[in-house]
Amino acid sequence: MSKNDQTLIQVNHLKQYFDINMGFFRSKPLKAVDDISFSIREGETLGLVGESGCGKTTAGRSILHLYKPTAGEIIYRGKKIESAQDIGEFRKHATMVFQDPYSSLDPRMTVEDIIAEPLDVHKMYSSKKERREKVLGLMDRVGLNSEHAARYAHEFSGGQRQRVGIARALAVDPDFIVCDEPVSALDVSIQAQVINMFDELQDRMNLTYLFIAHDLLVVRHISDRIAVMYLGHMVELANADEIYDRPLHPYTKALISAVPVPDPKIAKANKRIELTGEIPSPLNAPSGCPFHTRCPYATDVCRESMPAFEEIETGRFVSCHRVREIN
């Protein structure tokens, strides 16, 4: 949970467009992330949710400059990340845990070499002995035995592989970790263990997380604040409990209504909001508000102009022309 109000990461007007070849020497920009802004405080977890293809993962990768942002700025501890040197320095403090523990680990490398890779890249040890000690310390921290060090990734279960990925992310002793759906490929019983481990590591190492997921129950458990994305845009950002107990944006309302409730009586009383219409393609995004094609409250103004992402209550941002009327 957030320890202080010091901003660690500031994202201003981030855009990430990919040129898609349309044939006959024409290309068209796919607007995967289209003008999003937010900040993350030190020691905080910001959850980033939305349906598949909304740009969550692209946003996380662009912040770490794994993709070069099309526009916008990333500011870390008050310093803008611009040059190659800035990016190299930033990556000593910011790392990523990938979604798929099967494809994000090199099958030809032993676990020891996988975990030590960031140490090799940043030359963070003076001897082979120190390298091995660091690796064994990291393995212990994520609940792996030292005898696992000489094995290969394919010899492990999904949960253990994800622990290897987390140990690799912790190798440089980072402040900030982008967790890209780190539990979605795991069994439910293993998910809880991995999430609890993220919590413990955060307390012990004062880590700051951007936690990307589409499972809203997981996000609520781990996040201090939650941001909701739709078609490359951010539509709502607020305290985790507020988003759950009182969603304001029509899309957030629909998302929350779809979260399963374990109590059958409550579940029966809950009205699920069913969205009609297809999700538009980010290649042919609708004009105005991106959600207007599926929104039950859409009017002409929604079709014509993009609503501002504005703070309508303290710490609560919503992008909707009619937010005050419909709540």
Does the pLDDT at position 4 exceed 70?
no
What is the per-residue pLDDT across 9-56, written as a single tens digit (0 to 9) for each? 999 999 999 999 988 888 999 999 999 999 999 999 999 999 888 999
Q: CB of 290 within 8 A of CB of 321?
A: no
> 3-class DSSP state for residue 96?
strand
Q: Which amino acid is at 4?
A: N
- Cβ atoms of 194 and 202 within 8 Å: the answer is no
pLDDT at 135 over 90: yes
**3-state SS of 207-229?**
CEEEEECCCHHHHHHHCCEEEEE
Q: What helix, strand, coil percent values describe the chain, rounded to 5? A: 35, 25, 40
**Mind listing the pLDDT tens digit for each residue in 283-319?**
888 899 999 999 989 999 999 999 999 999 999 999 9
Question: What is the third-level CATH fold of 7-93+207-326?
Answer: Rossmann fold (3.40.50)
Neighbouring CB atoms inside 10 A of 108's CB total 8
260 closest CA partner among 316, 220, 294: 220
What is the Cα–Cα distance from 296 to 288, expressed in whole angstroms? 15
The whole-angstrom distance between residue 21's C-alpha and the CA centroid of its chain comes to 28
Once rounded to an integer, what is the mean pLDDT over residues 222-243? 95
> Average model confidence (pLDDT) for the chain?
91
Residues 62, 15: contact at Cβ < 8 Å?
Answer: no
> Do residues 74 and 40 make contact, with C-beta atoms less than 8 angstroms apart?
no
What is the total residue count of the chain? Answer: 327
Which bin fits 36, alpha (ψ -120 to 50), beta or left (φ > 0)? beta
pLDDT tens across 235-256, in order? 999 999 999 999 999 999 999 9
Per-domain residue ranges for the chain? 7-93+207-326
The residues, ordered by sequence, that sit 6+ positions from 16 with a Cβ below 8 Å of its Cβ are 31, 32, 33, 55, 58, 59, 62, 67, 69, 70
